[in-house]
Amino acid sequence: MAHSWKIALALALAASTAAPALAEGEVNIYSYRQPDLIKPLLDRFTQETGIATNVLFLDKGLVERIQAEGENSPADIILTVDISRLTEAKDAGVTQPIKSAIVDTDIPAQYRDPDGAWVGLTTRGRVVYASKDRVAQDTITYEELADPKWKGKICIRDAQHSYNVGLIASLIAHDGEAKTEEWLKGLKANLARKPDGGDRDQAKAIFAGECDIALGNTYYVGLMMTNDKETEQKDWANAIKVLFPNSNDRGTHVNVSGVAMAKNAPNKENAQKLIDFLASGEAQEIYAEQVFEYPVMPGKEPSDIVKSFGTIKPDTLPLAEIAANRKKASELVDKVGVNDGPGN
């Protein structure tokens, strides 16, 4: 059964890295992360170790798939992009503790699960994209997004997307559930349209004049600025400036990309080698320079492109506290009807 799953996995790769002649086996990765974002890291890992990496990209249902596969699951590693998804994997019982001196040394405790179920690898800010032409101010708070002065001027992606749920969960932790509900009502009233698209689409909408400000992750700006395949994305990036919300008080909400080891990892030794590599200083530099994320290792700097956005002051709220509020956040999104758009 396990062998047939491996064959199926190999055929279904969303991205893979060819192993050199002296390959030392393989490691199977189930990923919520887009293949193009992790390819530079996996290429380097294979180059250095000879271990082939097989990636199955899923945009949803990753935990459910591992649960359904049970003991025969070929998954060695789970890569994901949000504290809520890391917590979901832990709570679902599809992970096993990571025991690594490299992780303990290189990754600060605030970015590690206390039980070892997951390790944060990078951070990204949930920031405001603002039109360079139509927005004069250079400071903003999340709370201000509910101010009627922005009526008809805000774009966001699906409010139930994990990036937005994480932000809303942080607001619940800071401001309480009642205030956050009122904030969501104000945000909804200020939307230019129904939530739609991804973070890059929000920058595109600002470029097109459909809205003046939007919520988005920092790293997408770097990806748009350097996109040589879809060059129109450079125009979207050039139309916006990055505002770091709440820089003058608690700081900007940050989330993590992270890794967990699957409970029944058939290639556990290789999986541990990959986790150690992803936590290493070398990988942190690749994240910074090629993926435009903030390294979590102390002393590692973001790329010059990311520095050009301005200085981020990260909210120090523990990620576990944010994750604890994610269910309430999701429920509030539905209660307020944010995804119905303005006027509904």
CB contact at 8 A, 203 and 129: yes
- Distance CA(180)–CA(261), nearest Å, equals 35
Instruction: Say if CB 122 and CB 95 are below 8 A apart.
Output: no
- What lies within 8 Å, CB to CB, of 105 at 6+ separation is none
What Å distances lie between residue 336 and 32, 227, 327, CA to CA? 28, 37, 14
Tell me the one-letter amino acid at 14. A
- Quick one: CA torsion of 92, 125, 166, 173, rounded to 10 degrees? 120
Q: Contacts for 330-336 with beta carbons within 8 Å, 24 or more apart?
A: 330/160, 330/165, 332/168, 332/172, 332/177, 332/180, 332/181, 332/184, 333/159, 333/160, 333/164, 333/165, 333/168, 333/184, 334/160, 335/181, 336/181, 336/184, 336/185, 336/188
Q: Which residues are annotated as a binding site?
A: 219-220
Say if residues 116 and 98 touch (Cβ distance below 8 Å).
Answer: yes
Q: With the CA atoms of 293, 296, 301 and 307 taken in that order, what torsion angle do they form, in degrees rounded to the nearest 10?
A: 40
The answer to whether 152 touches 342, Cβ cutoff 8 Å, is: yes
Q: Please compute Rg for the chain using Cα positions.
A: 20
Closest CA to 256 of 324, 318, 168: 318
Q: Give binding residues for Fe cation as ranges.
A: 219-220
Residue 42's nearest CA partner among 227, 297, 265, 259 is: 259
Spatial contact of 257 and 81, defined as CB atoms under 8 Å apart:
yes
